[in-house]
Homo-oligomer: A and B are copies of this chain.
Amino acid sequence: MEKSLLLKRVPFFRELGENEIAALSERAVERTYSKGELLFSEGDECKGLFVVGRGAVKILKSSPSGREQSLDIQMPGTPVAELPLFDGGRYPATAQCVEDSELLFIARRDFESLVRQHPELALAVIRSLGQRLRKMVTLVEELSLKEVSQRIARRLVTLAEARGRKTPAGLEIELPFSQQEFAAQMGTVRELVSRTLGRFQSEELIAVDGRHITIRSFEALEEIAAGLKK
């Protein structure tokens, strides 16, 4: 059984010993979803905790007119929905698989009794909520106070820092998602992303080839992100 292997990868559960992990993986149920399927919808009652094993899960808000704001994308090893699990409320947003995915599901009561036995777990939950809160604060700041081109520049910069490969031509990065998805993360629409990347390219700040982007002037992007330059 590899459930326990997955559980051990979750930063969340690092504090637990072998036997707790084993006990937990007894209780955990494996579920598979295909791309596009919903784990739950905003407003649903929270039945338990999900942990991403394979694939990816997007947390999102959507408007009646069909626009979508992505709040976060959970990759393998991350928990989904620890917030409502704790405060007993409903899911504040919708969760959708963006690829075919395998998840572990841990029923609410199982998780609760686990926390009672291991209060240290609460600290891990705090860390996790804290991270999310910081992300949301940053997002609010960008949506409210920054222009779209600034947000895009900022994103390119952070992507480059996180996983850029150095080459003679510059830092190379791979966009990990479609422009549509990129736009949803930045609170704008596909067209603007396309246009802005085009503009950056014509100004020779970047070179675009499909989802493959070479950064030719990291500094200029940083200035745009900071609002010092257009």
Chain A residues close to B by CB (< 8 Å): 61-65, 67, 69, 71, 83, 86-87, 89, 92-93, 119-120, 122-123, 125-127, 129-134, 136-141, 143-146, 187, 227
Contact = CB atoms under 8 A, between A and B. Distances in A.
Contacts of A122: 119, 122-123, 126
A63 B141 CA distance: 9
Nearest to A136: B136
A69 B144 contact: yes
Most buried by B among A61, A130, A132, A144: A144
A133 B134 contact: no
A104 B145 CA distance: 32
A141 B93 CA distance: 10
Nearest to A120: B119
Contacts of A141: 61, 69
20 contacts: A61-B137, A61-B141, A61-B145, A63-B145, A65-B227, A67-B144, A69-B144, A71-B137, A71-B140, A83-B130, A87-B126, A87-B127, A87-B130, A87-B134, A89-B134, A92-B134, A92-B138, A140-B140, A140-B143, A143-B144
Nearest to A122: B122
A194 to B, nearest CB: 19
A133 B131 contact: no
A140 B142 CA distance: 10
A135 to B, nearest CB: 9
Contact residues of A: prevailing secondary structure: helix
Contacts of A61: 137, 140-141, 144-145
Contacts of A136: 133, 136-137, 139-140
Nearest to A146: B63
Nearest to A126: B86
A89 B69 CA distance: 27
Given A67-B144, A143-B187, 19 more contacts: A61-B137, A61-B141, A62-B145, A63-B145, A64-B227, A67-B145, A69-B140, A86-B130, A87-B126, A87-B130, A89-B134, A119-B120, A122-B122, A133-B133, A136-B136, A136-B139, A139-B140, A143-B144, A144-B187
